[in-house]
Chains A and B, each alone.
Chain A
Amino acid sequence: MTGREEFVLRTVEERGVRFIRLWFVDVLGLLKSVSIPVSELESALEEGVGLDGSSLEGAARQREHDVIAHPDPRTFQVLPWKPDSLVARMFCDVRQPDDGPFGGDSRAALRRVLEQAAALGYTMQVGCEVEFFIFGPLGSNGDVPTTLDDGAYFDLTPLDVGSDFRRRTIEYLEQMGIPVKASHHEVAPSQHEIQLAHTDGLSMADSISTFRIAVKEAAHELGAYATFMPKPLAAYPGSGMHLHISLFEGDRNAFHAAQAEQPLSPTGRAFLAGVLAHATELTAVTNQWINSYRRLATGFEAPEHVSWTRRGAAALVRVPSRRPNRAERTRFELRSPDPACNPYMVLSLVLAAGLRGIERGYELQAESIDDEPDGAARLPLDLREATDLFDASELARETLGDRLCDVFVANKRRELDDERRTVTEFDRARYLRLL
């Protein structure tokens, strides 16, 4: 037994943990959990736990097939929101029964790309700003949710339920090892933003998954409901999840330029050029829901074109100005993703696109000034266009593997078909009287 496993077993015993939740994510990044009693823990650590692999396939689930979830003891953590009956979690690597890789696990895909980067001497660091809404208890499906801080939902605390909520969430996150850099109320009523301090790619993807459930738990305890839906209210900005990306070679930030006039080093420029060159193929994963495109369509700082800038708020990528004595902070900010994405897929593809830019020496396009797109390519207008581009993307297939790509595309086509058959508020408002 390794030290890590002994640590887990001993902590469970000493702390009186009753159940262990084994976490994994499906192709859409939705967190799945298998709960095991403490008596099964040792065998779960040794041999893993059998699962139906189709549970990772989202809505496009087909026939059952066996896979094994192997808990990663490095991710063992007692959950802070179950103080009465202690529960802990571990993220799992999902593998085939013969211990071969399972192509349907997006967490494994990210690990693979991180290993490829490590073989080239690079490690990716990611910081992240997550926006989301908390609403009053939800009515039936389709109702417009009640916002909490415009006085509409007054039986919660009279002052600012939001700050109470943020304090509790931040406590949970810090107890889970997810340090928060800052938090504030966002533009829209009931909308919040929490900034997560930078960490390596796998930890960040795990942190985002954990973050979403911690936020939902904290909201639930206050009788509210948190959502990461990209655009819940038509009249207000949607929720984005800006990613701050940098690449390190050992201790050195490979994006930091030696010359003062350059915002990024040659490596950084080539990496960014790779991300921009593949940005339209990546959109299906950075913005994976039909609703995601309603956020992008309405501006409010959401990008519509493939462009980068040092100033302005409308570009796909913002590069903060170079700070001579702060080399470690040199980075770029990718502004298209929304918080309902699968962070494992997004980080896999962003890193793979950037590495390709470095390997093939891509040239960075000119900076866009004053939010003018300068003939820059536009991002896909909707999920159908994005899915078609993703489906045809050789980079996506090479990075994620055919299985993950096919299952993802099948999910998206099903979602599009469902929508195609739906009569919406829009239809009635527009056509009922007119036609």
Chain B
Amino acid sequence: MSDAWIYGTDGGEETSRLLAELGFSPHRVAANGTLRPPEGESRAPALALVLANGLEQPSCAELCARLAADDELGEVPVIVALGSEGLLEGIGVAEGHELLVEPFTAEELQARIARARRAVNGIDHDDIVRVGSLEMNLATYQVAIGGRPVDFTYMEYELLKFLVTHPKRVFSREALLNRVWGYDYYGGARTVDVHVRRVRAKLGSEHAARIKTVRSVGYRWEGT
């Protein structure tokens, strides 16, 4: 299940409930300067929701800027939720990838999430990423090329998923190790090269070249 992190000074119970109904695992983050929930979640969430109402230190703009600048959270889709008074003052209107005005319904939340994930990660509303004949279904962990299933191991799948949903950005081996493997690996930084090679072999000629090796830096996914 994908994590969703909720930033706010108070409230948010209703938003948590709605996110849980949509299949996310919600975690509250006290917006007092930290960017991560207290439970020590190691992986970046699928989504960040900023409840802009009452945010002062840091301001909504500061918080969004810090999220964007964070090594691990930089490409998390950010949705900013505002009260209508915030809308009048223009605070937070320009921040994040999507805007929500309170009160909002579950349907609207779902639609805004889908738009933000589509814009940032290329994930369609049905949780499928489509790149040419490649289809990656994030809900069922299945990958198909031209409708034919391709069987990945878990780590190969996780690596491909990360690259595919973070297109056009170069990631160092170190960054990929931290973000895809966490601390659960034996092979050291070379593990990344080994897995890239395996994933390319399984992807076959049409898609293998989409994983670009950026010499002495790392890897980049070219979706288009």
Per CB-CB distance, the 9 closest pairs between chain A and chain B, nearest first, are A200-B187, A123-B188, A78-B151, A174-B201, A251-B189, A177-B198, A199-B194, A7-B154, A179-B201
A179: which of B141, B154, B186, B198 is its contact (CB, 8 Å)? B198
- Category for how many chain A residues contact B: 35 or more
Contacts of A139 in B (CB 8 A): none
* Stretch among A9-17, A227-235, A419-427 lining the B interface: A9-17
A4 within 8 A of B: yes
Please tell me if B224 contacts chain A, counting CB pairs below 8 Å: no
Contact with B along A188-207 (1 / 0, CB 8 A): 00000000011111110000
- B78-99: CB near A (< 8 Å → 1, else 0) gives 0000000000000000000000
Q: What are 22 A-B pairs with beta-carbon distances under 8 A?
A: A7-B141, A7-B157, A10-B141, A14-B140, A15-B142, A74-B154, A76-B153, A78-B151, A114-B186, A123-B190, A174-B202, A177-B152, A177-B201, A179-B201, A197-B194, A199-B187, A203-B186, A203-B194, A251-B173, A251-B174, A251-B190, A328-B190
Kindly state whether residue B54 has any CB partner on chain A within 8 Å.
no
Question: Is A8 a contact of B191 with CB atoms below 8 Å?
Answer: no
CB-based contact B186/A200 at 8 Å: yes
> Contact between A250 and B189 (Cβ–Cβ < 8 Å)?
yes
Q: Does B125 belong to the interface (CB within 8 Å)? A: no
Alpha-carbon gap, A11 to B197, bound state (A): 22
Q: Please state if A198 and B194 are interface contacts (CB–CB under 8 Å).
A: yes
Question: Interface 1/0s, chain B 159-181, versus A by CB < 8 A?
Answer: 00000000000000110000000
Contact with A along B93-136 (1 / 0, CB 8 A): 00000000000000000000000000000000000000000000
Q: What is A's interface to B at a CB cutoff of 8 Å?
A: 3-4, 6-8, 10-11, 14-15, 73-78, 80, 114, 118, 123, 125, 174-175, 177-179, 197-203, 248, 250-251, 328
Residue in contact with A76 in the complex, picked from B154, B189, B198, CB distance below 8 Å: B154
User: Quick check: B189 and A248 within 8 Å, CB to CB?
Assistant: yes
Please report the C-alpha to C-alpha distance between residue A125 and residue B189 in the assembled complex, in whole angstroms.
11
A248 touches B190 (CB 8 A): yes
Cα distance A114–B194 in the bound complex, in angstroms: 17
B154, B173, B194: the one contacting A200 at CB < 8 Å is: B194
A378 vs B202: C-alpha distance when bound (angstroms): 44
- Which of A4, A15, A174, A248 is in CB contact (< 8 Å) with B188? A248
